[in-house]
Amino acid sequence: MPITKLIILDRDGVVNYDSDQFIKSPEEWKPIPGSLEAIARLNQAGFKVVLATNQSGVGRGLFDMAMLNAIHGKMHKALAQVGARIDACFFCPHAADSDCGCRKPKPGMFQEIAVRFNMSLAGVPCIGDSLRDLKAAAEVGGQPILVLTGKGEKTRSEGDLPENTLIFGDLNEAVRHVIQKST
């Protein structure tokens, strides 16, 4: 286990409900039941909680940075109401067809997190609902964890998961495992 306890979460489909039409406004951001409380438990257990989320809606012109900030503002407020916090938000604003290094499944966003927290991501739990989340985690030596919320069921049924991927029903179950393993 790393000296600093760190966990990386995807946003849409893990913390909040996902939408094929993108989450484009604070009104569309709705937490998955139990997810905010799970983050509070991570905070209480001494974890730094980091969000790593592809937000190609910005690159596609569906919403702008001010709207993304407003969405995250609602998320932070909802977290605070249950005594939880996210320590850092990393996001890729580029469209899916852009050739950036930060859009998952590429590891750029995760590498940036490693630099920011001055640590290796080897063994760091990385929770997502899509194959691209898991591949980015595996690329940096993180522990890929699939939750079956969001696109998770579809991801599991399509297979081809990175080696050693753990699977849980939702963020709550995954967090229970991560905390138990860290003590």
Report the catalytic residues.
Answer: 10, 12
| SS percent in the chain: helix, strand, coil, step 5 | 40, 15, 45
Rounded to an integer, what distance in angstroms lies between the CA atom of residue 116 and that of residue 93?
19
Q: What residue type is 28 in one-letter code?
A: E
Q: Which residues of 53-85 are buried (b: 16+ CB within 10 A; e: fewer)?
A: bbbbbbbeeebeeebbebbbebbeebbeebebe
Q: Which residues contact 158 (CB under 8 A, 6 or more apart)?
A: 131
**Where do we find the tokens 């939408």?**
19
Q: Which residues contact 169 (CB under 8 A, 6 or more apart)?
A: 147, 148, 149
Q: To 5 degrees, how large is the angle CA 157–CA 175–CA 18?
A: 50
DSSP, collapsed to helix, strand or coil, labels residue 76 as helix
